[in-house]
């Protein structure tokens, strides 16, 4: 009952805020927001961009004009990402959305952006210092994701399986947090399950495929499962398993957009694909930036601050200014064709 009342209050406050801006459409100043993904060449980040564009269209219709730009390195490269953000700072936008290639290396340039008066919102991959951004939109709770992946390994291969992890870069914040959470959960719930090797494909198709081949050639059958924790690594691992003729013998699970995995479901290589909706992630990140720039954050509701996420509703701002999008979703052969991203 109390939860219903709280939601009703938040909705009314949102309507008042939007109406006050919408009633003065001509006086609502346009704002400029840049989105910088880890790299532009991945369907995952294209889906994030699509979500941001949906939010831009809605805000423009409400009389809250947004100029939106999407740019970043073509491959996962920390130096190029820093150069991109540096060039954006010189343009003096109102807000910057980023997904970090390196949890430490981006801190100085993000603090430079904040010092220049730019609202900084992270999405997908954070930096190590919360003081380097205003908000971080976390796609999923790290511990929940780790439990989901490890439970799937236990269900499909057994509680004492050796697993190989195919990651991105050794300094990738998300992947390192997920690996740490997986280790902790294994120790608690599956003490005989163990990590045989961790390979780093740099979020690049070629190296990720080669690392998957290394796992197959050097660690199978000691490794009974590959857990590929990037949207680039998972399809490459599935392809390597398919090419090696190990479909149904070497279990492979990970994180990727459903469109990238449909053919592997069809081939019988993959049984589950774990992810969230990256369209919603980009959408919420854009709304968060808009709320920050326009001063539309909703504060002091039972001592808690909220952001308005458009059609997604309201989201609580948690410790270290982190906003949690939601729970992971498991795609299967039975439901994957219902999705198109």
CATH number attached to the domain at 142-256: 3.40.50.2300
Please give the average per-residue pLDDT across 103-124, as a whole number. Answer: 98
In the predicted model, what is the mean pLDDT of the chain? 92
Do the first three CATH levels of 2-139+277-326 and 142-256 match, i.e. the same topology? yes
Residues 6+ apart with CB under 8 A from 22: 28, 62, 63, 64
Q: If you write DSSP's letter for every residue of 30-41 in order, what string do you get?
A: -EEEEEE-S-SS
Confidence band of 143 (pLDDT split at 50, 70, 90): very high
Mind listing the pLDDT tens digit for each residue in 81-95? Answer: 999 999 999 999 999
DSSP strand pairing (322-326 vs 135-140) = parallel
Please state, for a pLDDT cut of 70, what percent of the chain lies above it: 92
Q: Which two tokens stand for residue 2?
A: 């109390």
pLDDT at 22: 40
Instruction: Output the six-digit token pair for 122.
Output: 């992270």
Q: What is the pLDDT of residues 160-208, one digit of tens each?
A: 999 999 999 999 989 999 999 999 999 999 999 999 999 999 999 999 9
Among 44, 117, 79, 96, residue whose Cα is nearest residue 288: 96
If phi over 0 gives left and psi between -120 and 50 gives alpha, with beta otherwise, what is residue 171? alpha
pLDDT tens string 251-272:
999 999 999 999 999 999 999 9
Residue 5's pLDDT band (boundaries 50, 70, 90)? Answer: very low
The residue extents of the domains of the chain are 2-139+277-326, 142-256
* Number of Cβ atoms within 10 Å of the Cβ of 12: 10
CA dihedral 206, 259, 315, 4 (to 10 degrees): -150
The pLDDT, as a whole number, for residue 4 is 43
| Residue where the block lists tokens 């109406």 | 19
| pLDDT for residue 16 is more than 60 | no
For residue 11, what pLDDT band results from cuts at 50, 70 and 90? very low
Give me the pLDDT at residue 23, please: 36
In the CATH scheme, what is the code of domain 2-139+277-326?
A: 3.40.50.2300
């Amino acid at each position: 009952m109390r939860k219903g009342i709280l939601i009703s209050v938040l909705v009314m406050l949102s309507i008042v805020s939007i109406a006050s801006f919408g009633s003065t459409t001509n006086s609502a100043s346009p704002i400029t927001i840049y989105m910088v993904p880890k790299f532009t060449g991945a369907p995952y980040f294209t889906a994030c961009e699509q979500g941001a564009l949906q939010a831009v269209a809605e805000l423009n219709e409400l009389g809250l004009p947004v100029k939106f730009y999407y740019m970043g390195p073509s491959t996962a490269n920390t130096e190029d990402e820093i150069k991109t953000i540096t060039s954006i700072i010189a343009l003096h936008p109102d807000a910057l959305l980023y997904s970090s290639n390196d949890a430490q290396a981006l801190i100085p340039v993000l603090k430079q952006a904040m010092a220049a008066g730019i609202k900084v919102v992270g999405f997908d991959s954070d930096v190590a210092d919360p003081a380097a951004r205003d908000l971080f939109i976390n796609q999923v709770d790290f511990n929940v994701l780790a439990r989901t992946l490890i439970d799937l390994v236990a269900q499909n291969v057994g509680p004492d399986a050796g697993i190989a992890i195919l990651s991105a870069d050794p300094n990738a914040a998300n992947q390192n947090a997920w690996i740490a959470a997986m280790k902790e959960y294994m120790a608690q719930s599956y003490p005989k399950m163990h990590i045989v090797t961790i390979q780093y494909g740099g979020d690049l198709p070629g190296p990720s495929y080669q690392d998957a081949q290394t796992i197959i050639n050097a660690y199978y059958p000691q490794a009974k499962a590959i857990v590929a924790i990037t949207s680039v690594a998972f399809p490459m691992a599935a392809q390597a398993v398919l090419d090696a003729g190990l479909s149904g013998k070497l279990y492979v699970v990970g994180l990727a957009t459903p469109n990238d995995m449909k053919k592997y479901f069809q081939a019988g290589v993959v049984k589950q694909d774990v992810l969230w909706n990256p369209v919603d992630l980009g959408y919420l990140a854009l709304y968060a930036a808009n709320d920050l720039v326009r001063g539309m954050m909703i504060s002091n509701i039972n001592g808690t601050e909220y952001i308005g996420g458009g059609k997604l509703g309201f989201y609580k701002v948690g410790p270290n200014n982190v906003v949690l999008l939601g729970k992971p979703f498991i795609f299967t052969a039975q439901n994957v064709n219902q999705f198109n991203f």
